[in-house]
């Protein structure tokens, strides 16, 4: 095989592994952003945080909101719930950022996988 | 309110589901912190105790329920160990509808023994407002485009995956499992009705049909069952393989590239649950898993 083509294919393989590992990391983080509360499950998004912030600013302490399965869930203390989900959001995104950077800086398949020979 | 995990293990002539269940029970205990009940048969349990020791087996499971195996039920299935090896073996899966009655728990996570629990994500299920939760979303370790269908047939019945099912002991959950039993007992009829491509009985299809029926024969966004509180099920196919188990909740996989037989992409998974369809692959690393997770 021509050397340039071989290099190109190696690069394609590297990019494929890189993208795949990014995608696994994204899904892991999405999983960690699912938060269970009062029998409901809520995916923590910027929308949810903004909505809860709006409720808090409007002076609402108790509220009923729809969860991921569109089931109404009563939240007895909106400010506390907002604090809980915000804390979780930043904890997950911080870890996501660190792991993302580690993968991004990897220059070959072995380092993307962080594989150490036994 | 009692909570626990329920698994089935029925060995065939080559695959030691029992050993896989033991390894996974230890993983459940480590990551979810709940007990595990195993449903099995006499042949499987006697082999398991002989191979692994009775003390170890009792350590893995809170309860072992022995059921009679229906030897008239023949469900041949092709099992692959990567794309290079495939065998037709018996697949005993006809008794999953019994899970509702047999589960000793008020809240049950009913999982396939090869769905390896490497995170605490499923702990979000406990105390759910849903009577039953089951997932319709899957993805693959080798690609963001999982080679799957969203529907079980040309008519568009929504596909659910019976790999993980959360249920409570409620009337509705009982309806669902009774309907699954009905579908299983009349599988040939439903196979023809929904134009399912092969004759092998699959619980995924039985649950999908049962849910569709109980939804009033409709594909609706407001299904009577909820999706699990996870982003979807990660499915490693039987053409994939396990490269190594690096540590607790840390595994490296070979995922076969889409449309590129025998070519793999490496993928490292940490703290992520995964369904391993290549049973030989899990059997190869089962001792390592047991060694890591045994406390």
Range of the domain at B173: 3-293
Q: Which residue has the tokens 């190109």?
A: A8
Is B142's CB within 8 Å of A28's CB?
A: no
Closest residue in B to A28 (Cα–Cα): B272
DSSP run (H or E) holding A19: helix A3-32
Per-residue pLDDT at B143 exceeds 80: no
Per-residue pLDDT at B138 exceeds 60: yes
Instruction: Identify the residue with better confidence: B190 or A114.
Output: B190
- Residue-wise pLDDT for B34-90, tens only, equals 999 999 999 999 999 999 999 999 999 999 999 998 877 878 888 898 989 888 888
In this prediction the ipTM stands at 0.85
Helices (H), chain B: 17-31, 42-52, 54-60, 99-102, 171-185, 187-193, 203-214, 279-293
Pairing mode, if any, of strands A63-66 and A34-37? unpaired
Report residue A107's pLDDT band, with 50, 70 and 90 as the boundaries: confident
Which one of B127, B252, B272 has the shortest CB-CB distance to A115? Answer: B252
As given in the structure block, the two tokens for residue B93 are: 């899966």
Instruction: Identify the residue with better confidence: A43 or B157.
Output: A43
Q: What is the mean pLDDT of chain A?
A: 92
B230 interfaces chain A, CB cutoff of 8 Å: yes
d(CA A80, CA A66): 17
- Domain residue spans of chain A: 34-112
Report residue B295's pLDDT band, with 50, 70 and 90 as the boundaries: confident
Q: What is the pTM of this model?
A: 0.92
pLDDT (average), residues A85-102: 97
Candidates B271, B290, B234, B246; CA nearest to B24 is B290
Q: Which residue has the tokens 């009792």?
A: B58
Q: What is the DSSP letter of B70?
A: -
Q: What is the mean pLDDT of chain B?
A: 92
- Residue B248's Cβ-count burial label (10 Å; 0-12, 13-18, 19+) is middle
- Residue-wise pLDDT for A6-25, tens only, equals 888 788 888 889 999 999 99
Is B124's CB within 8 Å of A16's CB?
A: no
Q: What is the CATH number of the domain that holds B151?
A: 3.90.550
- Residue A97's Cβ-count burial label (10 Å; 0-12, 13-18, 19+) is exposed
Q: How many helices (H) and strands (E) does chain B have?
A: 8, 15
B78's CB contacts (< 8 A; 6+ apart) are: B86, B87, B88
Helices (H), A33-77: 46-57
Beta bridge partners of B140: B143
Closest CA of chain B from A96, distance in Å: 12
B32 interfaces chain A, CB cutoff of 8 Å: no
Residue B146 pLDDT? 57
- Residue-wise pLDDT for B195-245, tens only, equals 887 778 999 999 999 999 999 988 777 788 999 999 999 999 899 999 999
Closest residue in B to A27 (Cα–Cα): B231
Per-residue pLDDT at B139 exceeds 90: no
Count how many domains chain B has. 1
d(CA B237, CA B226): 25
pLDDT (average), residues B161-188: 96
Instruction: Identify the residue with better confidence: B173 or A112.
Output: B173
């Amino acid at each position: 095989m021509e050397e340039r083509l071989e290099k190109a294919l190696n690069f394609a393989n590297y990019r494929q592994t890189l993208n795949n590992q990014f995608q696994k990391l994204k899904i892991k983080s999405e999983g960690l952003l699912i938060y269970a509360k009062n029998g409901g499950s809520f995916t923590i998004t910027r929308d949810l945080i903004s909505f809860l912030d709006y409720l808090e600013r409007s002076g609402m302490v108790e509220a009923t909101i729809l969860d991921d399965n569109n089931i109404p869930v009563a939240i007895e203390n909106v400010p506390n719930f907002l604090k809980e989900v915000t804390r979780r959001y930043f904890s997950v995104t911080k870890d996501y950022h660190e792991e993302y950077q580690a993968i991004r800086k990897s220059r070959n398949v072995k380092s993307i996988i962080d594989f150490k020979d036994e | 309110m009692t909570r626990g995990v329920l698994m089935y293990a029925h060995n065939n002539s080559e695959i030691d589901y029992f050993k896989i269940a033991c390894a996974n029970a230890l993983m459940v205990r480590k990551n979810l912190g709940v007990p595990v009940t195993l449903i099995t048969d006499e042949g499987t349990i006697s082999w398991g105790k002989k191979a692994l020791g009775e003390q170890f087996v009792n350590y893995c499971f809170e309860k072992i329920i022995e059921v009679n195996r229906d030897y008239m039920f023949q469900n041949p299935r092709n099992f692959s160990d990567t794309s290079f090896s495939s065998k037709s073996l018996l697949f005993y899966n006809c008794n999953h509808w019994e899970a509702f009655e047999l589960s000793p728990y008020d809240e049950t996570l009913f999982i396939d023994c090869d769905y390896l629990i490497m995170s605490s994500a499923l702990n979000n299920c406990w105390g759910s407002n849903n009577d039953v939760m089951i997932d319709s979303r899957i993805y693959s370790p080798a690609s963001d485009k999982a080679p799957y269908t969203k529907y079980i047939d040309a008519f568009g019945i929504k596909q659910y995956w019976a790999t993980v099912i959360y249920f409570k002991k409620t009337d509705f959950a009982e309806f669902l499992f009774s309907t699954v039993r009905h579908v299983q007992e009349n599988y040939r009829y439903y196979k023809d009705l929904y134009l399912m491509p092969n004759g092998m009985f699959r619980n995924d299809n039985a649950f999908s049909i049962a849910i569709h029926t109980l939804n009033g024969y409709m594909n609706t966004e407001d299904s009577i069952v909820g999706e699990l509180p996870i982003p979807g099920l990660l499915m490693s196919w039987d053409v994939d393989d396990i490269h190594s188990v690096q540590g607790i909740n840390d595994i490296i996989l070979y995922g076969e590239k889409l449309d590129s037989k025998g070519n793999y992409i490496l993928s490292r998974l940490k703290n992520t649950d995964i369904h391993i369809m290549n049973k030989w692959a899990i059997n190869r690393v089962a001792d390592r898993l047991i060694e890591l997770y045994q406390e």
